[in-house]
Amino acid sequence: MGAVYLANRKSVIGLDRIIAFASGCFGIGIIIFALSKVIWFSMLMILIIGFSMMVQMAACNTVLQMIVEEDKRGRIISFYTMAFMGTMPFGSLLAGGLANKIGAPNTLLIGGICCVLASVVFASKLTLLKRRMRPIYVEKGIIPEVAKGIESASGLKGLSEP
């Protein structure tokens, strides 16, 4: 469902906010799942967690592919994949060891809290991220330059010439 949601979007504009929101929803879903004692409610949380995870990962992948130069895209995506898939066994080992000491629900609770905190930090950096992405989006024609748009819409360019 998360992939279908992203596939139906018309533009990449706004994906940065979606990444922050989906990460926060993922973390909150994990926290609620860790505290839940009702099976049907836990299953609902798993649905929300899966949706959020797919949206966040696909949106990150899309943004990366949009902002990276074509000749470097393969390298960046392989690094991105390695960062997620390559570190997963270490995270699983850490989570398993922690769950053995403090229990699975407490481990999930800590992981969810870390995820929410990371999404808050990411959301606080959105202004900087947008400032750095805007020239790339303008260059690729995703966002038309405002000055050129105003100039051509008002006909000022033609008026300044003799």
Of 88, 137, 131, nearest to 111 (Cα)? 88
Q: What is the pLDDT of residue 35?
A: 96
Instruction: Please indicate, yes or no, if residue 85 is contained in any of the structural domains.
Output: yes
Three-state DSSP state, 11: coil
Contact 23, 119 (CB under 8 A): yes
DSSP state of 84: I
Distance CA 127, CA 116 (A): 19
pTM of the model: 0.80
Could you read off the pLDDT of 75-95 as tens digits, one per residue?
A: 988 888 888 888 889 989 999
157, with CB counted inside 10 A (0-12, 13-18, 19+), is exposed
Count how many domains the chain has.
1
**pLDDT for 156:** 45
26 or 127, which is more confident: 26
Residue-range definition of the domain harbouring residue 53: 2-124
In a domain, 83, yes or no: yes
Residue 96 forms part of a structural domain: yes
Residue-level pLDDT at 144: 65
In a domain, 117, yes or no: yes
pLDDT per position as a tens digit, 106-156: 999 999 999 999 999 999 998 898 888 888 888 877 776 654 554 455 454
* 3-state helix vs strand vs coil in the chain, percent to 5: 85, 0, 15
Task: Judge whether 47 lies within some domain.
Answer: yes
What DSSP state is assigned to residue 13?
A: T
Cα distance between residue 112 and residue 127, in whole Å: 25
pLDDT of residue 139: 82
Q: Are 34 and 112 within 8 A, CB to CB? A: yes
Residue 154 placed within a domain: no
* Span 8-18, pLDDT tens digits: 888 788 888 99
Give domain status of residue 160, yes or no: no
CA atoms within 13 A on the CB side of 83: 9
